[in-house]
Structure 1
């Protein structure tokens, strides 16, 4: 009894070659279908990983673009400030105090620059931890790129305080309040 069952059936004449091929084909299809669920799971896993990588790459590219835009804006601010800065006098006699990052800072100016600051012809701008005076028109252009680069003057600060106080104007303070 040498040979496979298929060979034996063909010799006995019970089955034809066509039927044997059909049975082999059916068996291969069944094996493939059994493997298919694992292939589908693998394919789904690969697709999910591919989509996750695409999303991660998109977020990374967005982050890089934001960083490039921020650096470009800082470079523009620096260039505007350098081109249009008003030189501080070497014989300054007035100490001009201002608030920057919740700290009192100062620069030395003369009376002519102090008048221009009071008339809002000049504005103080912070560029790379240095303070420079620029014309107000240039400061407006700098504000468009980064509002935090311009040191706010006292009047703007007063307006902010007034706006905050206006929120509580409807609430009366009781007269009999003891501290």
Structure 2
């Protein structure tokens, strides 16, 4: 009885060159000790696991660092607001502004209202309260977290007049309340 290799050669399924190559590979595999291949595979698996763990650790460290930076920025904003907030006691005029989807009301003095409309001061959010700060401080806060600055009027926009405006000759009074 002929071997399977000889039968495949006679049938024409495999050529002689391919048969010799398969025989050569079979001899090489038989010469190699079987335990050595398993050790190489386990070393490779251990190296892969170590590399994956290192990547996970780096990603976790990046996330922690981002959280630390975020907390530091929030602390800076809180410190800026607490050191530069303006006193608004005695405010009789209500100044209305938008916070998210809600309209909020802040009682200010006449001078503070004028400064708000001219863009000299701004309204910022401190937790659940609202504070008035100078426009320069509001710009610093806006660079760190734009969502904390609620009202900061542009100084140049309030003074420029559109050329095609039919009501350019009629000035809006500062004390006009809606």
Shorter-chain TM range is 0.5 to 0.7
Contact 1:86–1:132 (8 Å) recurs in 2? yes
Indicate conservation of the 8 Å contact 2:116/2:153, yes or no.
no
Which piece of structure 1 moves more, 134-143 or 40-49?
40-49
Q: CA deviation at 1:93?
A: 1.2
Cα offset, 1:129, TM superposition: 2.1
Normalised to the residue count of structure 2, the TM-score between the two structures is 0.65
The 5 Å alignment of 1:1-179 reads 33-89=33-89, 91-153=90-152
Matched residue pairs, number?
127
1:171 is aligned to none
C-alpha distance in structure 2 between counterparts of 1:42 and 1:102, whole Å: 59
Q: Secondary structure at the match of 1:151?
A: strand
SS at match of 1:83: helix
1:42 deviates by 1.1
Q: Deviations over 1:115-137 (max 9, x none)?
A: 01011110111122221110000
Deviation at 1:56, TM superposition (A): 0.6
Corresponding residue number in structure 2 for 1:26: none
Runs of 5+ unmatched residues, structure 2: 1-29, 155-178
Runs of 4+ deviating beyond 6 Å: none
- Segments of 5+ residues of structure 1 without an aligned counterpart are 1-29, 156-179
Could you tell me the TM-score, scaled by structure 1's length?
0.65
Given that 1:96 and 1:106 are in contact with CA atoms closer than 8 Å, whether structure 2 keeps it comes out as yes
Q: Is the 8 A contact 2:135 2:152 kept in 1?
A: no
Q: 1:35/1:132 Cα in 2 relative to 1: closer, same or farther (>3 Å)?
A: same
Normalized per residue, the structure richer in helix is 1
